[in-house]
Structure 1
Amino acid sequence: MTYFSLFSIVLVLTFFISSSFAYNFTSTVVVDKSGKGQFKTIQSAINSVPAGNNKWFHIIVNSGVYYEKVSISAEKEYIFLDGSGSSRTIISWGDHQSTATSATFSSSANNFVAKGITFVNSYNIKQTTKLAPALAVILSGDKAAFYNCGFIGFQDTLCDFQGRHYFRSCYIEGVADFIWGYGQSVYQNCNIKVNGRGAISLGYITAQGRGSAQDSNGFVFQGCNVGGIGKAYLGRAYGSFSRVVFIKSTFSSVVTPLGWDNGFHPGEELSFIFVFLFISTHKGGSFMFAISYTITILIL
C-alpha cells in the first residue's frame, strides 16, 4: 500500500477548496418562512435556478425550521445555499426505508456549497421500535462543500454517495453506518456524535464502499472529535477495498477498542485500508488493536 494514493484524496480536494472561497454571485434570492423574501420554501428557490446555470446563484435561507424535502437536480449547478447558522436554519423531513428516496436533502449537481444549515431526518428520532434507513442527506454530484453544517439522523444519516466532497466544522450524528458511500471526501474539524440507543447497542460510524484497488475514493477525517453515547466501531467495510483515514483526531470511550469491523466483506480483510495517521488521543481508555486484519497503524 502506498500512502501517496491515500493523500491523492486530500490533494484533489485541496485544489477545489482553495479555488472556491471567492464567490462572484450573479443572482441572489432570499427564502423566508414568514414571507419576507422572494420565496417561502427552499425548494421553490432552487426551482428558480435556470437549467444549465454556470454562475454562482446565492440562495439566502433565513432562520426557521423548514419542513420540506429538498432536491437539487444535476442541471442546476453553482448553487450556494446560505443559512443563518446551523442552530437557526434547519431542514427537516421524516421519510424512511429506501436509501435512494428517503433523504431530506439530495443533490446531484456539481459545484454546490452549503453553509450554516442543519439537515435532519426525523423518522428514527421520533421512535425507537421500527428503526429503518432514513437519510438526512445524499450527495451524488462532484465538488460539493459544506461549512458549519449539521447532519442529524440515526441510520444512514449522511450518504456520501459519489464525487469529491469537503466538510468543514460540521456536526454529524447517528449510530448505524451514518457516514457511508463511495465518495472521495475530506472531513475537517468535524464533531461526530454516536447516538447509541434503542435496538442498536453497537454502531458503526463509517461504511465506505470503495470497490477496487483502482478506485480513487475514500474518506479522510482530519482534526475531528468522535464522542457521544453507547459504543461504535470507527467503521466497517462496505466495499471490498474500503478506505478510511483518521488524522490527528480525538476519540472518546464511545469508540470500541477493536476499532474496525470487516462488515459486509468477511474474508477480504487484506484489501481494506483503515488507517490512524498521527493519531492524537483516545479519552477514557486505550485501544487494544487486538485484531489480525484491516488496520494499518502509523503512530508517529
Structure 2
Amino acid sequence: MATVCSNQDTCTEGFEEAGGAVKHQTAQIIQELWQIVSNHLDLSSMIINCDVVSGRRLMGLEPTNMDHKNLGDPKWISKKDKKLLGSHLANIQPNVTVSHHGIGPNVTVRSIKEAIEMAPKNSSIPFIIHVKAGRYQEANLTVGKSKTNLWFIGAGKGKTIITGVTGAGFVARGITFESTAGPQNHQAVALLVKSEHSVFYECEMKGYQDTLYIHSNRQFYRNCDIYGTIDFIFGKAQAVFQNCTIYTRKPMEQQTNTIIAHKRPCSNICAGISIHECQIRAAPDLEPVKSNYTTYLGRPWNEGATTVYMLSYIGDHIDPQGWIPWNSTTTLDDVFYGEFQNYGPGANISQRVISPGVHANMSVVEAARFTVDRFVDGSSWIGHTKVPFEAGLGY
C-alpha cells in the first residue's frame, strides 16, 4: 500500500504542468484512489511496527532480541543461493553472460536487454546475469515487474558501466550506473529503483542532478560510491546507505549543491533515508574550488521528509548550517533531519540551522530507530545474502 501511495504521488507529479480536462479528470480519480489507500494505511498502522513521532511514522522504540544467526531464510532466496553474493566473482555461475565485444567462449548475448528477455517471468530463484567489463549504452533499459529476482553481477566499479537504467526487482554487485547527460542538462537520472528488498553492493552511481532516484520500498546500499550535485540522492523510499562514499561534484556556476531530497508521499507510511557509517566528501573536480560553491546535507521535497546522518565522516565542503528549505516559501519545521556522532570538519553542529525539524544532536534512542534492523528490518532479508552489514548502530 505504501508503494501504491508512492506511485500515485509520482503520477500526480506528472500532471503538475498539464492543463485542461485531462488533468482535472486524472486528479479526481487519483484523489479517490488516494483516499482509499490512505484509509487502509491508517488501519494498517495499528498493527505494524511504527509509532507516531511529531506527526511522522518511524520504526518503534521497543528493544529487539533477535538472534540474527538463527533467523529463517528469507522467502525470496533459497538456501542454495544465500551465500552467492558474498562469493568471489570468479565462483559465481551465471545464467547468462553479456559482452558487447561479441559472442565467444562463455558469452551468451551482446546486450543487457537480450539477457533480461531471456530471464523467466516471476522467478522464485535468482536469475544471474554476468555483465562483462565495458560501457553499455542501452537507452532506457528497463527491468519489467514480471522479471523478478534478477541479479546483475559486473566486473567491478568503473569496469562494467551501464548508462540509463530503470529497474525493478534486482540485486546488483560490481556495476557502475552512469548518466552521461552532464550538469548542463540538469535533471538526468542514472538509476531509478522501485524494488522491494533491493540490494546494491560495491556499485557506483554517477551523475550530476538527480543521480539516484530511490523511488519506493525498502532498499539497502553497501560499499557504494554515489556522485552528483543537486538532490542527487532523492525519492520516497525507505533506504539505508552503509559504508558508502557520497561525492559532491562541481556544479554549474551559481548552483547550490544538495545531497539528499527526500519526500514522504503519505503521512502514514514509514519512509526516510539513513546514512550510516559513510563518507561525505568533495569529488576531485569540486575539491580545488569547493570554497566557490555551497553544499548542504539535504533539503525536504515535502513536509515529513526524513533524513539522518549517523557515525559518518563529513567533509569541510558542507555548509555549517547543514540543511536548507526546499525554497523561499517553505520551512524545516515539519521534517525530521537528524545527526548522530558524526565526525570530520563538516560535522561541527554549533552553527546548524535552528528549527523544530532539525535534530543536530540525536540521542542513542533516536538514532537506533534508523539502523538496518529497526528501520528496514534488514536482518530478515539482507543477512542471508552474505552482503556485509551492521544491524545496529555499531559504535
Match among 72, 78, 81 for residue 152 of structure 2: 81
Alignment of 1:102-251 (within 5 A): 104-109=164-169, 112-124=170-182, 128=183, 130-228=184-282, 229=286, 230=290, 231-251=294-314
Match among 357, 361, 368 for residue 294 of structure 1: 357
Letter in 2 for 1:282: G
Larger Rg: 2
Residue 271 of structure 1 deviates from its aligned partner by 1.8
Distance 2:307 2:264 in 1: 10
What does residue 100 of structure 1 align with?
none
Match among 130, 135, 147 for residue 65 of structure 1: 135
What does residue 98 of structure 1 align with?
none
Q: For 1:19-53, what per-residue CA distance to the aligned partner results, in whole angstroms no more than 9, with x for missing partners?
A: 56435999611111222310111111011112222
Change in 2 beyond 3 A, CA 1:267/1:154:
closer
Distance 1:232 1:6 in 2: 27
Letter in 2 for 1:61: V
Distance 1:121 1:68 in 2: 11
* More moved, 71-80 vs 23-32: 23-32
Q: For 1:148-173, what per-residue CA distance to the aligned partner results, in whole angstroms no more than 9, with x for missing partners?
A: 00000001000001111100000000
What does residue 282 of structure 1 align with?
344
Q: Give the structure-1-normalised TM-score.
A: 0.84
Change in 2 beyond 3 A, CA 1:202/1:144:
same
What does residue 83 of structure 2 align with?
22
What does residue 100 of structure 2 align with?
33
Letter in 2 for 1:283: P
Change in 2 beyond 3 A, CA 1:177/1:267:
closer
Residue 214 of structure 1 deviates from its aligned partner by 1.7
Change in 2 beyond 3 A, CA 1:58/1:223:
same
Residue 138 of structure 1 deviates from its aligned partner by 0.5
Higher strand share: 1
What does residue 5 of structure 2 align with?
none
In 2, are the aligned partners of 1:237 and 1:264 still within 8 Å (CA)?
no
Distance 1:251 1:42 in 2: 37
Distance 2:330 2:232 in 1: 24
Q: For 1:109-155, what per-residue CA distance to the aligned partner results, in whole angstroms no more than 9, with x for missing partners?
A: 3xx2000000000111xxx5x43210100111211110000000001
Distance 1:194 1:150 in 2: 13
In 1, are the aligned partners of 2:57 and 2:268 still within 8 Å (CA)?
no
Q: For 1:167-201, what per-residue CA distance to the aligned partner results, in whole angstroms no more than 9, with x for missing partners?
A: 00000000000000001100000000000232353
- SS in structure 2 at match of 1:260: coil
Please list every run of 5 or more consecutive structure 1 residues that lacks an aligned counterpart in the other structure: 93-103
Distance 2:347 2:98 in 1: 47
Letter in 2 for 1:106: T
Distance 2:84 2:333 in 1: 44
What does residue 20 of structure 2 align with?
none
* More moved, 21-30 vs 255-264: 21-30
Change in 2 beyond 3 A, CA 1:284/1:291:
closer
What does residue 366 of structure 2 align with?
none
Q: For 1:71-97, what per-residue CA distance to the aligned partner results, in whole angstroms no more than 9, with x for missing partners?
A: 1001100001000101211112xxxxx
In 2, are the aligned partners of 1:148 and 1:170 still within 8 Å (CA)?
yes
Residue 261 of structure 1 deviates from its aligned partner by 1.2
In 1, are the aligned partners of 2:228 and 2:248 still within 8 Å (CA)?
yes
- SS in structure 2 at match of 1:269: coil
RMSD, aligned CA: 2.9
Change in 2 beyond 3 A, CA 1:285/1:49:
closer
- SS in structure 1 at match of 2:114: helix
Residue 206 of structure 1 deviates from its aligned partner by 0.4
Length, aligned pairs only: 278
In 1, are the aligned partners of 2:339 and 2:362 still within 8 Å (CA)?
yes
In 2, are the aligned partners of 1:23 and 1:56 still within 8 Å (CA)?
no
**More relative contact order in 1 or in 2 (CA 8 Å, sep 6+)?**
2
Higher helix share: 2
